[in-house]
Amino acid sequence: MDLDALTAARADQWARLDELARRRRLDGAEADELARLYQSVATDLSTIRSTAPDPTAVANLSGSLARARARLAGAHEPAWSDVARFAVVTAPAALYRIRWWIVGVAAASIVVAVVVGWWVATDDGALAALGPKSARDKYALHDFSDYYAPSSTFASVVWTNNAWLSALCVALGITGIGPAWVLFTNAVNVGSVAGLMATYGRLDDFFASILPHGMLELTALFTAGAAGLRIFWTLVDPGPRPRSRALAEEGRSLLTVAITLVVALAVSGLIEGFVTGSGLPTWVKLGIGAVALAAFWAYVLVLGGRAARAGETGDVDVERGGDVRPVAA
């Protein structure tokens, strides 16, 4: 099929459809005309997609048809099928695309935490920098374990704090420095506490209190940092796409990741608020944390991998993404 010939033959109809779809009021004749044009242009779009899938033509016609469909069908609430599709296709696809970024951020954070923990545990000067001995004694012997007393208030406070850190990584992602600083600071804090607890021979208590919720909580923070750094790297190297388009696409995917992290952090907050400080055996608490972490990665790798192989990116579909300009692959 010759796309230029089809465009020349149908351009007036396409323009008329878009004009009618954008009007605030339609009389009876115009509404009938809109319905006829909708059917005709939908056929044209199907033809273009199957024989000459030009991105600009597809996006323009999809946008016009979406507006026309809204006028014909009237406003409606998002269908549950859209919510389900977001949960099992769009969100895991967005996470899958940054899986190696998550692994890289996690590895770097763990290295920083281990180095800082070793330094605090083996250097008297580093240990003294954490505060006077009386304060260190009180924290290591009492405050650390008392902090995790189960309560709904504590769970909500934990969720708010973690959501705030993740939001900082997302909001400051374009700077590159923002998420890197949040991640570095968090790793230093975790390592410092681990080193302090090690000097009191309570490293086992540290891991028993941190890991049940921390496996998922820290992974969520690493994911937020990875998403933020990914959009920064898109600014540096947009690839074959125009920089503005690349940032728009990655930014929309970043918002998808942020929404999923709200759920992940809520789960980790519940575990921290009701499991970590509970009287359950340590192996049970660690098992709950491991199951939560495994569920997260199964969501990313299984559902996300399947969605990615089907061409999903975590971005909105072509009808909602707006017009795009074709670029070289």
pLDDT of residue 319: 46
Whole-number Å distance between alpha carbons of 133 and 118:
19
Task: Give the global pTM.
Answer: 0.71
- pLDDT tens by residue, the chain, 329 residues: 567 777 778 888 888 888 888 887 778 788 888 888 888 888 888 888 777 667 777 788 888 888 888 777 764 445 577 788 889 999 999 999 999 999 999 999 999 999 999 999 999 999 999 999 999 999 888 888 777 665 555 556 556 667 777 777 777 777 888 889 989 998 999 999 999 999 999 999 999 988 999 899 999 999 999 999 998 888 888 888 788 888 878 888 888 888 888 889 889 888 988 888 888 999 999 999 999 999 999 999 999 999 999 888 887 554 444 444 444 44
Residue type, 257: V
What sign does the CA torsion over 251, 253, 254, 255 have? positive
The dihedral formed by the CA atoms of 224, 230, 234 and 239, expressed in degrees to the nearest 10: -140
What sign does the CA torsion over 123, 127, 128, 133 have? negative
Whole-number Å distance between alpha carbons of 10 and 207:
68
Whole-number Å distance between alpha carbons of 205 and 126:
21
Closest CA to 227 of 190, 260, 199, 253: 253
pLDDT of residue 154: 52
Residue type, 162: N
Three-class SS state of 279: coil
Token readout for 198 is 């090690």
Whole-number Å distance between alpha carbons of 60 and 10:
13
Q: How many CA atoms lie within 13 A of 46 on its CB side?
A: 6
Whole-number Å distance between alpha carbons of 276 and 208:
8
Q: How many CA atoms lie within 13 A of 137 on its CB side?
A: 3
Neighbours of 77 (CB within 10 A): 6
Neighbours of 298 (CB within 10 A): 12
The answer to whether the beta carbons of residues 179 and 169 sit under 8 Å apart is yes
* CA 291 from centroid of its chain's CA atoms: 21
pLDDT of residue 329: 45
Crossing angle of helices 203-236/282-298, nearest 10°?
10
- Domain definitions of the chain by residue range: 3-76, 86-317
